[in-house]
Amino acid sequence: MVAVAILAAGRGTRMKSDLPKVLHQLGGRSLVERALLSCEAISPLRRLVIIGYQGERVQDNLKPYPDIEFVEQREQLGTGHAIQQLLSPLDNFNGDLLVLNGDVPLLRPETLKQLIDTHKNNQNAATLLTAQLPNPHGYGRVFCDHQNYVQQIVEHRDCTDAQKQNRRINGGVYCFNWPQLAAVLPQLHADNDQEEYYLTDVFAMMQPVMAVDVEDYQEITGINDRRQLSVAYHILQNRVKDNWMRAGVTMIDPDSVTIDDTVELEADVIIEPETHLRGQTQIKAGSRVGPGTLIENSQLGPNVTVLYSVISDSEVAAETRIGPYAHLRGEAKIGESCRVGNFVELKKTSVGEKTNIAHLSYLGDATLGERVNIGAGTITANYDGANKHQTIIKTGTKTGSNSVLVAPLTLGTDVTVAAGSVVTEDVEDDSLVIARSRQVVKKGWRLES
């Protein structure tokens, strides 16, 4: 029986931010959401999140997890005081309590399992994750005997110079026998440099307490300031990119690429330099993306190519070529084997198979059939200043260069729009529409002086 508690009530003064620290984003998820997700594999019986500073925003951020119990810590008097708030909600609880600082986002699920196993196998009162850091500055130092039993934890600012030499740090991740912790929690004192109730002071009152060193110290990187946030992002990125390369994705220059860990790729996807994949994006086998491309919350089918383009909240089907310099947004939906080319913007527009929109167009709120050819410079005038209107362009229709399609408007099948037309009324199937003034030539005409 394991319950999880996440400490998320602090402001995070060192971030120099109005946003609570645990809500800062790391690759598309907040720090606290990442801490929470690292516990998913151990299927905790209960999940409690301790909130305080801007607690409502933290609650809002964790809305997708309806089973979370929020516990309020009204004043932030330290990590020990935060855990004291659990005495009443966990009144009848007899199992183990896994405690995570909300600012430790890179933990691997296997590491938490190892922590819990060590705790149970040794029947410890408490067990904590530690690591030997090359630069332990800022962390609490853990002092153990030669069997890894913990004697004392001293916060960095409370350390003597000699104690600071100890590189073994407290990762802020603990497993407690809850009834034993509950018995000592009321005895904490705030007699330290910060005048806070430190959770780390309970270890001196419990027995036995064991430390488990994590192999990869990067996992317990805590985020206290923006520099550590960027270091954590870098670690996360390396993990994500290594995984995809192992799974068969080619990256020409991984250092210039960023990929959120919410993205899904298939084997034989090629990611060119300076490319960024974000949010709920999926890319199917054989697609080539970049260089110079941003894709967010979008789905690309197999064998799609995207060159120097931005695609958000959109779908692109197999074999379609996008770019260079295209912008798809607001639920654009492109069919198979299409071409969307240079300086084309598509907003909330769906496009049937084998349709080309090759140069210099804006299409918004439009529905295009199959084998449509949109001439260079075709624009939908979809907004009258107050409302948006639809344009429908049916199968096989061609628009001439520099046409303006004034919505609401329907062009039937196999319509041809003469270049330079401003089309304001619907056009029937199989028609040519010319909506511009006829050319006038006056032979021998001169300007009189």
List of residues contacting ligand UD1 (CB under 6 A)? 7-10, 22, 50, 73, 76-79, 81-82, 101-104, 139-140, 153, 155, 169-172, 198-200, 222, 224
What's 218's DSSP letter?
Answer: G
What's 353's DSSP letter?
Answer: T
The least CB distance from residue 53 to ligand UD1, in Å, is: 8
Here's the x/- map for Ca ion, 94-133, by CB under 5 A: it reads as: ---------x------------------------------
In the list Ca ion, ligand UD1, none, the entry touching 102 (Cβ below 5 to 8 angstroms by class) is ligand UD1
Q: Which of 119, 276, 327, 359 is catalytic?
A: 359
What's 278's DSSP letter?
Answer: E
In the list Ca ion, ligand UD1, none, the entry touching 200 (Cβ below 5 to 8 angstroms by class) is ligand UD1
Q: Is 359 an active-site residue?
A: yes
Distances (CA, A) of 421 to 5, 41, 267, 369, 405: 66, 61, 46, 20, 8
Q: What are phi and psi of 177, to 5 degrees?
A: -75, 110
Is 80 a residue that touches Ca ion (CB under 5 A)? Answer: no
Place of tokens 């970049």: 290
174 or 244: whose CB is closer to ligand UD1? Answer: 174
185 or 374: whose CB is closer to ligand UD1? Answer: 185
- Tokens standing for residue 99: 């405690």
Is 313 within 8 Å of 330 (Cβ atoms)? yes
The DSSP secondary structure of 378-410, one letter per residue, reads -EEE-B-SS-B--EEE-TT-EE-TT-EEESSEE
- Tokens standing for residue 34: 């990442």
In the list ligand UD1, Ca ion, none, the entry touching 9 (Cβ below 5 to 8 angstroms by class) is ligand UD1
The least CB distance from residue 116 to ligand UD1, in Å, is: 19
- Give exposure, 324-342, as e/b (b: 16+ Cβ within 10 Å): ebbbbbebbbbbbbbbbbb
Laid out side by side, the sheet with 409-411 consists of: 264-265, 282-283, 299-300, 315-316, 333-334, 350-351, 366-368, 391-393, 409-411
The least CB distance from residue 130 to Ca ion, in Å, is: 15
In the list Ca ion, ligand UD1, none, the entry touching 22 (Cβ below 5 to 8 angstroms by class) is ligand UD1
Is 140 a residue that touches Ca ion (CB under 5 A)? Answer: no
112 or 257: whose CB is closer to ligand UD1? Answer: 112
In the list ligand UD1, Ca ion, none, the entry touching 395 (Cβ below 5 to 8 angstroms by class) is none
Instruction: Please count the residues of this chain forming the interface with Ca ion, following the rule CB under 5 A.
Output: 3
Enzyme catalytic residues: 359
Interacting residue ranges for Ca ion, rule: CB under 5 A: 103, 222, 224
